[in-house]
Amino acid sequence: MTRMFSPEGPSLRELAVQALSSVERGYDLLAPKFDHTPFRTPDSVLEAVTSALDRNGPYDDGLDLCCGTGAGVDVLAEVCRRSVTGVDFSAGMLDIAVARRRERGGEAGAPRVDWVRADARALPFAPAFDLVVSFGAFGHFLPAELPGLFAQVHSVLRPGGIFAFPLVAPPRPVSVEYWMLLGFDAVMRVRNAVWRPPFVMYYRAFRLGEVRGELARAGFRVELQVLPEFGRRRDGSPRVRMVVARRPD
Ligand SMILES: C[S@@+](CC[C@H](N)C(=O)[O-])C[C@H]1O[C@@H](n2cnc3c(N)ncnc32)[C@H](O)[C@@H]1O
């Protein structure tokens, strides 16, 4: 059977079955092979964000929103002193995250790690975190859901806490990547018009201008930090930035 992405990756058939499920069920199915797909956030991004967070810290308690198999939990474990929580609504992804973390074993002095199954749009936490991160998951939220999502993040941060995530500059209309993403989003729109349950995953919906406005409306003070590791585009603009949204004191 032809494997996609790598010899351990999912087959084309498995990907198709996943894409015809709901987001939650789709990730349950993909979970055992997720770390062998390009959907897991690459180490280069995780490392750059770790360095940038280090410059902004220290932090005590961190939350990885839509943690999947725990890519962001690894980042938080480097920069948080007391506790790290991963939250995701896919039980399958959380199972892999727990097993992966257990295999690696906890280092002495490392923060406590907890996993919680919950929907990011209804977080079951008090304002108990001073850092919330999220990687690779915003395409799963419709633009109309962002105000509610950001309000949830705001509500679980302590005053002065930050919500931080990397944001890649959108490809230019002259690039192949631009047309590939446009094509992917168009296929998903057709799929969601004719098939239930929907699988919300739109690459082009999460844009800096709108995101910045929604974060401000949710009560955050927003700052952009360049991730220098990824260089700049021909027009001088950074390829990847970290959005830092602070809940004011
Ligand atoms: C592309 S994966 C990213 C996983 C991980 N953050 C990473 O970078 O490797 C997206 C994750 O978001 C989760 N997710 C999507 N919508 C969610 C929601 N409304 N609530 C909680 N988790 C959600 C999925 O279950 C999946 O694990």
Residue 19: pLDDT over 80:
no
Chain mean pLDDT for the chain: 91
- State which ligand 1 atom lies nearest to the alpha carbon of 90: 25
Atom 12 of ligand 1, residue of closest alpha carbon? 66
- Six-digit token string for 195: 């098939």
Residue 66: pLDDT over 70:
yes
Per-residue pLDDT reduced to its tens digit, 191-224: 888 788 888 888 777 888 899 999 999 999 999 9
Q: Is the CATH code 3.40.50.150 the one for domain 41-170+207-246?
A: yes
Q: Is the pTM of this model over 0.75?
A: yes
Per-residue pLDDT reduced to its tens digit, 103-131: 877 677 789 999 999 999 999 999 999 99
- The kind and range of the H/E element at 71 are helix 71-79
pLDDT score of 1: 60
The domain segmentation of the chain, as residue ranges, is 1-39, 41-170+207-246
- Which of 131, 132, 130, 150 lies closest to 141 in space, CA to CA? 150
pLDDT score of 84: 98
Count CB-CB contacts under 10 A for residue 57. Answer: 16
Mean pLDDT, to the nearest integer, of 125-152? 96
Query: Pocket residues for ligand 1 (CB within 6 Å)?
Result: 23, 27, 39-41, 66-68, 71-72, 88-90, 93, 119-121, 135-137, 140
